[in-house]
């Protein structure tokens, strides 16, 4: 994102303005006067570039390490690329194996998320910087998930590993060590406690994690029933954005992982939705477009100040990228993520579907 790249100081936000967050007052401090906010309570920019991150990490190496913990998480569709190269000190996350429930389909419930944070050595006050080696949608999905459970200090590395390497910053194959996870609770249903079978948050009322998450933020997520009743062919201010490719949206092509012969999922899109492929929010090198470019892009899909936005794709990764651009970079509210996506909606019996070449059906 061109209006993000290299802030003049590590306190400059992604809006290009200096944020006097008070960090300078803490240089050399080993304890914090009660009248001063602890660094863990200070805000951080949602989008940072390689220069910003390198400067922040360099500062930490020459100051008291505990004063403002930065945790790097590399998020990819699988972790194999992490072991080839990663940012020094980064920890791996596998999108499909670690960010989703293991029995039911869907993102982690609260208990599973808390165990994941413990497993990665993440504390509630840590500044977590997320990035991907390849497709940035995976880091964006992890960002959305952490925001869903209220982690307060999150940043996305603009351009990911590719931008970091292009800037000449070091990469590593060393796997760091960090505090291990707490043992998972025993469940009589044979699950690992991440599927919500014992309660709305996936627990049986006990807690054995060091990390404590908030309840899910309902303003960031939406389910199929509300999509069907409130957003199908709904007038403004409702606005549904389909983040898939034009071919998927029109129903003329399938995602490469779909098996068209099974006809388990019809092609097309949610009636009334507008197509905005997630790739359009990025520059060719994988960084985000400027805020003005993003405003024009969303305005071309009829975004207004009062729009009640829902985003979806096939699963939930591509739409997470659009959610990040609209909610975090442009500050629009509300933007709710339909994580079921077309994988769910296109499989529903008798749900209304629009397809460009659909024949007229009778009866």
Domains of the chain: 1-216 (3.40.250.10), 218-345 (3.40.250.10)
pLDDT band for position 265 (cuts 50, 70, 90): confident
**Could you read off the pLDDT of 191-240 as tens digits, one per residue?**
443 443 333 343 444 446 799 999 999 999 999 999 999 999 999 999 99
Q: What is the pLDDT of residue 139?
A: 98
pLDDT band for position 59 (cuts 50, 70, 90): confident
Mean pLDDT along residues 299-304 = 98
**Exposure class string for 96-119: b at 16+ Cβ within 10 A, else e:** eebbbbeeeebbbbbbbbbbbbbb
Question: What is the dihedral sign for C-alpha 224, 212, 28, 86?
Answer: negative
Mean pLDDT along residues 295-317 = 96
φ/ψ of residue 275, rounded to 5: -85, 125
Question: What's the whole-number average pLDDT of the chain?
Answer: 82
Partnered with residue 94 across adjacent β-strands are 76
pLDDT band for position 259 (cuts 50, 70, 90): low
41 pLDDT above the threshold of 70: no
- Both tokens assigned to 65: 């390490």
**Could you read off the pLDDT of 136-168 as tens digits, one per residue?**
999 999 999 999 999 999 999 999 999 999 999
What are the catalytic residues? Answer: 313
Q: How far apart are CA 131 and CA 121, in angstroms?
A: 17
Report the phi/psi class of residue 84: left, alpha or beta, with left for phi > 0 and alpha for psi in -120 to 50. alpha
pLDDT band for position 87 (cuts 50, 70, 90): very high
264 pLDDT above the threshold of 90: no
**Could you read off the pLDDT of 101-111 as tens digits, one per residue?**
988 889 999 99
Q: What is the pLDDT of residue 363?
A: 41
Greater confidence, 114 or 29? Answer: 114
């Amino acid at each position: 994102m061109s209006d993000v790249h290299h802030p003049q100081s590590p306190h400059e936000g992604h809006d290009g303005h200096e944020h006097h967050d008070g960090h300078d007052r803490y240089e050399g401090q080993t304890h914090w006067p009660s009248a001063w906010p602890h660094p863990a309570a200070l805000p951080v920019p949602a989008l940072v570039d390689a220069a910003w991150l390198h400067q922040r990490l360099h500062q930490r190496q020459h100051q008291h390490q505990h004063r403002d913990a930065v945790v790097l998480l590399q998020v990819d569709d699988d972790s194999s690329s992490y072991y080839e190269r990663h940012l020094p000190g980064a920890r791996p996350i596998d999108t499909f194996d670690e960010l989703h429930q293991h029995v039911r389909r869907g993102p982690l419930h609260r208990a599973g998320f808390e165990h994941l944070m413990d497993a990665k050595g993440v504390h509630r006050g840590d500044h977590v910087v997320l990035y991907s080696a390849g497709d940035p949608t995976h880091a964006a999905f992890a960002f959305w998930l952490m925001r869903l459970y209220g982690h307060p200090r999150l940043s996305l590395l603009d351009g990911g590993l590719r931008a970091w390497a292009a800037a000449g910053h070091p990469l590593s194959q060393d796997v760091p060590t960090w505090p291990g996870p707490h043992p998972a609770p025993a469940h009589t249903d044979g699950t690992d406690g991440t599927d919500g079978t014992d309660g709305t948050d996936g627990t049986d009322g006990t807690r054995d994690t060091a990390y404590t998450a908030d309840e899910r933020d309902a303003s960031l997520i939406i389910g199929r029933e509300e999509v069907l009743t409130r957003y199908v062919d709904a007038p403004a201010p409702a606005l549904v954005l389909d983040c898939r490719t034009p071919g998927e949206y029109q129903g003329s092509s399938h995602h490469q992982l779909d098996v068209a012969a099974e006809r388990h999922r019809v092609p097309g899109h949610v009636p009334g939705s507008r197509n905005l492929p997630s790739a359009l929010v990025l520059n060719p090198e994988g960084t985000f477009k400027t805020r003005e470019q993003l405003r024009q892009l969303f305005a071309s899909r009829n975004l207004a100040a009062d729009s009640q936005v829902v985003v979806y794709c096939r699963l939930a990764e591509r739409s997470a990228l659009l959610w990040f651009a609209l909610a975090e970079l442009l500050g629009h509210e509300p933007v709710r993520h339909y994580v079921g996506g077309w994988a769910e909606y296109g499989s529903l019996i008798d749900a209304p579907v629009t397809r460009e070449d659909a024949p007229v059906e009778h009866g």
